[in-house]
Structure 1
């Protein structure tokens, strides 16, 4: 202890204080108390000390690292209080807390480090990340931050086959290599990246004040290269690879959570793209993922809210140009993203099972509309409606019962309904799917294979399937650009192989008793060639884009119900 006068000077000190500071009590007398215990090193403490000295504050307590006369350091708790009674001055108390402080440091180290790899753990990583982002908010440095989020490929197999003891040793060895990479990547401007284990087999390399994407890409490539070399663990050689998500951006406006989420998403992309690679965060790809999540979460409620409608694309007879049928194509009138085509949400519907109620709605709506056209135009031959069916509808619902009930309730004849399944879904069908297709065919419903020629292409198998229509994939039709008669188009010529292939498929289909529809017919030249080689019906923008039902009604009202090129286009 020491007594301090009203001017802040030490009047006297006891022997214990002299011993603590490595000097004598006599040597302390006359010194400035604030300098003796470092009270002026920060503004808040200095201000509080002056308040106590003036009598405006009853007490000050703080912790300081003091230097003894012999150069050794000691951690001390400083307490300053007014002297008892009316005596002017202060009582300065200095308690040695070095042992307690060391214990706290050791406990914090245990709390903030991973026991297996000795690396900073998730808590310390987020503490450092938060501090780095906060520091950038006050300026200085490059104003940027980077993160490599790394995950071992197939680490679970190591634990499952060799045990957790070997798995832990592998993690420790990985940590050593990553630490070495970070040290080798140390930059005079940005320092050494922080290597942390975030849990399981996930690691992070944090670059504060990063210099740009190239620096992070080099670090990720270095880490992947270091881990590709086999590990020797007690004579057992193990080979592992890793996937890395890389994010580098301005620190301003970034939060720890947002940065790690972006890195985690990018890590998932790296694994999905084939593993053993690094992938850079792509805002557009992330926006698509977020949109996908938003669509998936609102898909089922959208069915109940009536956000879907159908457009209809004409199927035209190649010989006479008459409207033979229409394909029902669904659209989602999303309140946030506008009108969405099927490729934006059908795959999601198949994943979460909502394709079943959505498919039922499409089936009923299309059949009701086809029956309405039939009743409104009794003088014209009725047109059929073609509806796309997903394989999951066959497995997860009683499609046969759904179709039978819909036809009975709408009054539509079975032969006026065509169901389209993709080639990959139909070819090789057995068991329940094949039984369902057979039952539908026996009912009188037409079965069509959509996008034919892009899947199995097992033509011999067609004779065993209850199929009545082949829809040739548009890629074949788009290849119809060969024109040997025009020398001016020499540069635009392509091989006529597609036409030869299509002609062969059409001839075989006809011999099997199947009709053929050509998709994606866009030019009159394509239509002429398809008609010449025997295609029965055509579908494409040459005739019409998908249109609302009233436009189909207009076509049915036209004389002879013929579809001229472009008539149905908006």
Structure 2
């Protein structure tokens, strides 16, 4: 922790804080009329500057330096800033000056300052009380011994004391009170002295009554309590009540001196600071601190006794509101949403809190009836009401704003037993609701969560796996349909894990695309495939194979893709015309601007461009002609259809397959009209092969010919027809 009075090294506030001298001048202006301090103005500014330096350092410390801030509060009392108004003015002024350091640190520092001030003032008051008590005791004893020979001096001390004083008999009758006590309670001297002290003691405070009886019996000399009282005007005050026993000369109990300090201002300040520390300043809702306290308390009860659930809500498109209408309108929108959620849900006993930004959370804590389905339906109902409350149009001035929200819902057993684990599950579920289309409620799904965790673990391991050589490339033959000769291979990456498990691309390619690792992985696959193809050609002269490599949309958008391909071709010695790059129909049809220019540059180099999985997306056929495309790879469903097809193209088991046959024929004819070659994927039967031959399809691949094989098995496929004769 930073030493008191010393600013943390290298740490700057989020906004420029004033200097200690500036703080001191403003501070002096705030308190100079509330207390008398025996210093010149320049001396006082110097002292305040020193304390301001301490407060600045305390606010910027991590965590906030409570001890140093308390020391500033004690210094104020020691310097005679003892009027409660001095504390009020100081906190108000310092709060504004220190605001750039952040709401939470400033609240903590000012709270610590107030606590230090209050303790020092209590100690000062106690010292004064003890002095007054001693004077009262001396005066009372002297009165008994000498008939109150010093009555005038005692009367002056008693009447003019700053704290309230009452003299009470052993049976509780109020004998005398001073002016300060009358002012505190709003009663006249006559009204006070006709009363008994007992109504001022809380009836349900058994410990206090027990201590009072001990004092009346003479076995206890001092008693202290802090509690609220009602004034005659109906307002509430907080008082520090100190009772001291006065004995006779022979030690018997005679009187009780009650001294009352008015703590109302301090109590209000502490309450205000506590509220600030527990509530969001923009919406007034409980903040995340309060929410986690309540959630921890709810989870501490047995599951059989309490049904606990959380609805985690996030506004959809809130950033667009801020960006287009301004942050002021965004703040008004958050306030309106907070009011709606409160009105809709708090009356049912649910805690509504703001977690930060545009995120809200609802805690549903109910006595369990033993039926999990009922509890789940109640949670669903709460989430739906929250969603509907946000959906209703909101009028902000003359603007009508319509927003929606996504809600993630978890129950106490989702994600683990603790609040941190539960909120992680809620955050994950909220992400699902966003990812699944927004404006919806999503419930936690343990299987989906495990899959997401597995995907995350894959993404975390993938960079090291790529560097460690865990990825391998298999090759699926591309066969000329007229004679079933091998004319090319498609490079397919696999992940061979150290434990022996081999992962297919469906397991890790989507993860690689999400994380951006598809770029280095795709570059490695391209280089490995070209290098291997060059070895085959060197080992088998005269072989005329082309190699086809998948290219992700992310790779095409990567700057330098053309240079990367050119470098790899140059390094491996593989000719550009023997390289085919495959993009899915969806990726290719959405390519414009620089990525499209990159594809055209690759085509100009001689590289073939193929559309993979053609027919699974939506192609603008007119636009297709303008693309730098050389081949279409027809998607698997065109081969499998919805039933069997006879070798002569007639109706199979289901008449609807005739339609599939006609569509396939038209696609092949269209491709040839555009000057494109056609490859059929997922060829699995002799019937499909014969059908494709009759339709004029150029090449095919699939299990009918051969599965994807290791690089060493490819040369064996060069010697004859691939697949069954």
Bin the TM-score by the shorter chain: 0.7 to 0.9
Question: How has the CA–CA distance of structure 1 residues 546 and 67 changed in structure 2, closer, same or farther, with 3 Å as cutoff?
Answer: same
Question: How has the CA–CA distance of structure 1 residues 386 and 180 changed in structure 2, closer, same or farther, with 3 Å as cutoff?
Answer: same
1:324 to 479, 487, 506: 487
1:447 to 604, 609, 612: 609
Residue 563 in structure 1 maps to residue 722 in structure 2: yes
Map residues 139-538 of structure 1 onto 2, 5 A cutoff.
139=302, 142-159=305-322, 166-183=329-346, 186=348, 192-209=349-366, 212-234=375-397, 237-250=400-413, 253-334=416-497, 338-378=501-541, 381-427=543-589, 432-479=594-641, 481-483=643-645, 494-538=656-700
Q: Partners of 1:39 and 1:473 in 2: how far apart? A: 89
Q: What's the secondary structure of 2:619's corresponding residue?
A: coil
- Once the two structures are TM-superposed, the CA of residue 245 in structure 1 deviates from its matched residue by 1.5
Q: Partners of 1:429 and 1:285 in 2: how far apart? A: 32
- Once the two structures are TM-superposed, the CA of residue 470 in structure 1 deviates from its matched residue by 1.7
Q: Partners of 1:108 and 1:131 in 2: how far apart? A: 19
- Once the two structures are TM-superposed, the CA of residue 324 in structure 1 deviates from its matched residue by 2.0
- Once the two structures are TM-superposed, the CA of residue 205 in structure 1 deviates from its matched residue by 1.0
Q: Partners of 2:416 and 2:175 in 1: how far apart? A: 50
Structure 2 unaligned regions, length at least 5:
1-129, 134-168, 182-191, 369-373
Q: Partners of 2:305 and 2:353 in 1: how far apart? A: 22
Q: Partners of 2:622 and 2:321 in 1: how far apart? A: 46
- Cα root mean square deviation, aligned: 4.7
Question: How has the CA–CA distance of structure 1 residues 523 and 174 changed in structure 2, closer, same or farther, with 3 Å as cutoff?
Answer: same
- Once the two structures are TM-superposed, the CA of residue 150 in structure 1 deviates from its matched residue by 1.7
Contact 1:38 1:66 in 2 (8 A): no
**Range with bigger deviation, 168-177 or 537-546:** 168-177
Contact 1:482 1:496 in 2 (8 A): no
Question: How has the CA–CA distance of structure 1 residues 404 and 182 changed in structure 2, closer, same or farther, with 3 Å as cutoff?
Answer: closer
Q: Partners of 1:252 and 1:471 in 2: how far apart? A: 44
1:37 to 208, 214, 234: 208
2:292 to 123, 126, 134: 126
- Once the two structures are TM-superposed, the CA of residue 176 in structure 1 deviates from its matched residue by 2.9
Q: Partners of 1:175 and 1:255 in 2: how far apart? A: 27
Question: How has the CA–CA distance of structure 1 residues 315 and 175 changed in structure 2, closer, same or farther, with 3 Å as cutoff?
Answer: same
Q: What's the secondary structure of 1:363's corresponding residue?
A: helix
- Once the two structures are TM-superposed, the CA of residue 194 in structure 1 deviates from its matched residue by 0.7
Q: What's the secondary structure of 1:212's corresponding residue?
A: helix
2:271 to 102, 105, 115: 105
Q: Partners of 1:80 and 1:243 in 2: how far apart? A: 59
Question: How has the CA–CA distance of structure 1 residues 121 and 532 changed in structure 2, closer, same or farther, with 3 Å as cutoff?
Answer: same
Contact 1:37 1:64 in 2 (8 A): no
Larger Rg over CA atoms: 2
Q: Partners of 2:712 and 2:564 in 1: how far apart? A: 27
Structure 1 unaligned regions, length at least 5:
3-10, 29-33, 41-48, 55-59, 187-191
Q: Partners of 1:127 and 1:496 in 2: how far apart? A: 67
Q: Partners of 2:223 and 2:417 in 1: how far apart? A: 37
Contact 1:148 1:206 in 2 (8 A): yes
- Once the two structures are TM-superposed, the CA of residue 102 in structure 1 deviates from its matched residue by 5.0
Contact 2:646 2:687 in 1 (8 A): no
Contact 1:407 1:413 in 2 (8 A): yes
- Once the two structures are TM-superposed, the CA of residue 316 in structure 1 deviates from its matched residue by 1.6
- Once the two structures are TM-superposed, the CA of residue 416 in structure 1 deviates from its matched residue by 3.2
Question: How has the CA–CA distance of structure 1 residues 550 and 495 changed in structure 2, closer, same or farther, with 3 Å as cutoff?
Answer: same
Contact 1:18 1:24 in 2 (8 A): no
Q: Partners of 1:251 and 1:352 in 2: how far apart? A: 27
Question: How has the CA–CA distance of structure 1 residues 427 and 153 changed in structure 2, closer, same or farther, with 3 Å as cutoff?
Answer: closer
Question: How has the CA–CA distance of structure 1 residues 63 and 332 changed in structure 2, closer, same or farther, with 3 Å as cutoff?
Answer: farther
Contact 2:241 2:261 in 1 (8 A): no
Map residues 15-54 of structure 1 onto 2, 5 A cutoff.
35-37=206-208
